[in-house]
Every structure is written in C-alpha cells, then in structure tokens.
C-alpha cells in the first residue's frame, strides 16, 4: 500500500527544521548505500551521528508517533532513526530496492525494513524534477509532495528519484519494522480501522456495530502481530 500522509509538520515547523538541517555537515550520500544502490545513487546526506540529524530526527519520530493516520497504516514496531538527503545540480537515484535488513552503525540497531518513508522538506515549486517514482502492481506512481507531507510505501518496491535540474530537494528518509509483516494484512487492518472510525462518528462508540468492528480489528491484530 502506498499512502500519502499530509501535514506531518506545519509550514512554520518545516522552516525551523530546514534552518537546522541546512547548516549541517552535508556529505556524500553513499554512506548508507548497499552494494547495488551505491552504483545508482548521487546525492548528499547528513551523517547519521551529527547533531542536526539527531536533533531533527527526534522531532520527526515524535511527530510520527503522534500522527494517528501514520500509526494506523504503519503499525510501527521499530522506526529506524530518520536520515536526511539533498539532491541538486542533476543529482538522482536510479532504480533500486531498499535493503531487507537495516543496521545502524552507531548503536547496532537492526530492523527488518517492511516500510519505507520519504518526508518532503522542500516545496515542489522550489525545484524541478526530483519525483519519487515507486513501482506498484498497477504501474509506476510519481510522488512529489508539499513540504511537511510524507509518503509511506512497501520497502520491497522498486523505486527511484528523478534528476533535480533546478533548486534543491531536501527530504527525510528512513525505514520501519511493522508489527504486521505482511503488506496485505497491514492494508486490511488499516482499511478496517478507517471504516470503524467512520461508523463511530456516525453512530457513536457504544453502537453494537462499532463494538463488533473494534473486536474484529483487535482479534486480527492479535493473530498477525509480531511483538
């Protein structure tokens, strides 16, 4: 499932985040590349352990943990500390798939990458190109979102970033291990949760249909979750 989550950060919050990030020690983005993706990747990145990356990364994680749409869709078990990249001057990232296991060198955190996240931190009118192209069952999806919005998609998907030919595309990117490994099961739970909330708004939390739907949701989660 590919999901657009709007307004994770307000425009004012994005401006403050960018002020911290833009002053950081940007370096070659291949520091986090696997063997295959290193041949296709041309961008800049903040080192994982640098102060700006850690500071803004904590704010990103806090915002996601408080976002009900993101939590419902992702059912996060472990979120890899957010990273930050920058594309400009024709830089791009060719077709690749994310590594199945991500390990953070600083503290040895190891996760299975079930879902990938790109949080856009540049307004789309501030740069040309830079679309995130995600290959799905029904064709390619082109994603270029307002600053403060994110896209969530399965890490198993082939994807690429188109060349940035004007301006700069700044974003946060990272992965997470979900409580529910299977994409189809996770999508079913998300749709069930959304439907339950709609019925709840219409009929109220004590309505028998809401109670039955809530019980079904939790019993399916109990069956599929890995904790």
Spell out the domain ranges in the chain: 3-178, 183-224
Q: CATH fold of 3-178, please? A: Jelly Rolls (2.60.120)
pLDDT digits (tens, 9 = 90+) for 193-222: 999 999 999 999 999 999 999 999 999 999
Query: Tokens at residue 41, please?
Result: 């990747």
Query: Tokens at residue 113, please?
Result: 């990458």
Q: Are 203 and 130 in contact (CB under 8 A)?
A: no
Q: Is the pLDDT of residue 36 over 90?
A: no
Query: Tokens at residue 18, please?
Result: 């960018």
Query: Tokens at residue 68, please?
Result: 């009900």
Instruction: Please report the pLDDT score of residue 40 as a whole number.
Output: 83
């Amino acid at each position: 499932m590919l999901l657009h989550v709007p307004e994770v950060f307000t425009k004012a919050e994005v401006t403050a985040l960018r002020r911290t990030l833009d002053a950081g020690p940007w370096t070659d983005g291949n520091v986090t590349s696997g063997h295959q993706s290193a041949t296709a990747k041309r961008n800049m990145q903040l080192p994982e352990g640098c102060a700006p990356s850690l500071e803004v990364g904590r704010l990103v994680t806090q915002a996601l943990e408080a976002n009900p749409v993101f939590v419902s869709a992702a059912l996060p078990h472990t979120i890899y500390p957010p990273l930050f990249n920058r594309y400009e001057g024709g830089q791009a990232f060719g077709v690749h798939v994310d590594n199945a296991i991500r390990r953070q060198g600083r503290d040895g955190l190891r996760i299975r990458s079930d879902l990938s996240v790109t949080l856009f931190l540049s307004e789309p009118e501030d740069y040309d190109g830079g679309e995130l192209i995600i290959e799905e069952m029904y064709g390619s999806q082109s994603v270029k979102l307002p600053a403060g919005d994110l896209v969530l998609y399965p890490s198993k998907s082939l994807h690429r970033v188109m060349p940035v030919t004007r301006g700069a595309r700044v974003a946060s990117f990272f992965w997470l291990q979900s409580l529910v490994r299977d994409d189809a099961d996770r999508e079913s739970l998300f749709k069930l949760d959304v439907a339950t909330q709609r019925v709840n708004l219409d009929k109220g939390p004590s309505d028998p249909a809401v109670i039955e739907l809530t019980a079904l949701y939790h019993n399916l989660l109990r069956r599929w979750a890995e904790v």
